[in-house]
Homo-oligomer: A and B are copies of this chain.
Amino acid sequence: MTETAIRELLERVAAGKTTASAAMRDLRELPFADLGFVKIDNHRSLRRGVPEVVFGEGKTAAQIIAIGKRVASSNLIVTRLDAKKAAIVKKGLHGMTYYPEARIGAAIKGMPPLTGHGEVMIISAGTSDIPVAEEAALCAEFFGNRVTRLYDVGVAGIHRLTANLETVRRASVLIVVAGMEGALPSVVAGLLDKPVVAVPTSVGYGTALGGITALFGMLNSCASGITVVNIDNGFGAALAATLINRVGLARDGA
């Protein structure tokens, strides 16, 4: 195990098979990289070839550019980036594309290879939920998933859900985005036996409480098997769906 690894390393040093310097270099990695030091290298395998993700809200364009330059060698996604800030950031970070609907700026030097068991499907309820759904969809694509979108499946459009039932059932994981009462994840989870990651949105007014009602409704869904992320957190849902889509796959071949 880890202790075994360290012991072997020490024995190799004692046996003169490795130098203290080389062992130091290994150990230096070990405590942080392998001992599981908290958060030190979060989502290691994901990061091989996938973008750094920066939360753009509450950061100035200058700060985002500075961070962007620091991670210049890898891909970069900036979420919650409004159009105005994006215009400035684009000038400072070459190669960045802005996706206004998803409020995402992305500098992708090469899309990661497709991984996972199957498709990640993004389903959203209303027109106003699309920004969050698109944040999830784009991130899931940048993380190496095959992504299908099924938007506007609200009161006027649920026939699009039922009309696409075969496609829906083919997906490996579903991200369901909804505001107001947040009932759509229950409907979807009732139609199939797949993991459903629910994303409450802040869409609504009055007792919608900025998404708290949708969140609590989803947590109390009688269609068990649903799990939930923070309000408007499309990125987090994409990351969770990516991990779910890779369950049981060898890490290297992933």
In the complex, 8 of the A-B residue pairs with CB atoms within 8 angstroms, ordered by the A residue number, are A3-B163, A14-B20, A29-B159, A43-B193, A195-B240, A213-B220, A219-B229, A220-B230
* Nearest B residue to A6, CB-CB: B27
Judge if A208 is at the interface, Cβ distance under 8 Å. yes
Report B-chain residues with C-beta under 8 Å of the C-beta of A218.
181
Q: Is the CB of B225 within 8 A of A240?
A: yes
> Contacts A217-B183, A217-B217, A219-B229: A32 and B67 contacting too (C-beta < 8 A)?
no
Q: Is A68 an interface residue (CB 8 A)?
A: no
Write the nearest CB–CB distance from A151 to chain B, whole angstroms.
12
- Bound-state Cα–Cα, A44 to B189, Å: 11
Q: A203 CA to B59 CA in the complex, in Å?
A: 10
**Binary interface encoding of chain A residues 90-114 relative to chain B, with 1 for a CB under 8 A from any of its CBs, else 0:** 0000000000000000000000000
A210 contacts the other chain (Cβ, under 8 Å)? yes
Q: Does A253 contact B (CB under 8 A)?
A: no
Residue of B36, B43, B159 touching A33 (CB-CB under 8 A):
B159
| Nearest-Cβ distance from residue A155 to partner chain B, whole angstroms | 5
Contact B190 A39 (CB under 8 A): yes
A136-166, CB under 8 A of B: which get 1 and which 0? 0000000000000000001110110111011
| A87 CB-CB contact with B under 8 Å | no
CB of A206 within 8 A of CB of B227, answer no
| Chain B residues with CB under 8 A of A248 | 116-118, 172, 245, 247-248
Question: B240–A227 contact, CB under 8 A?
Answer: yes
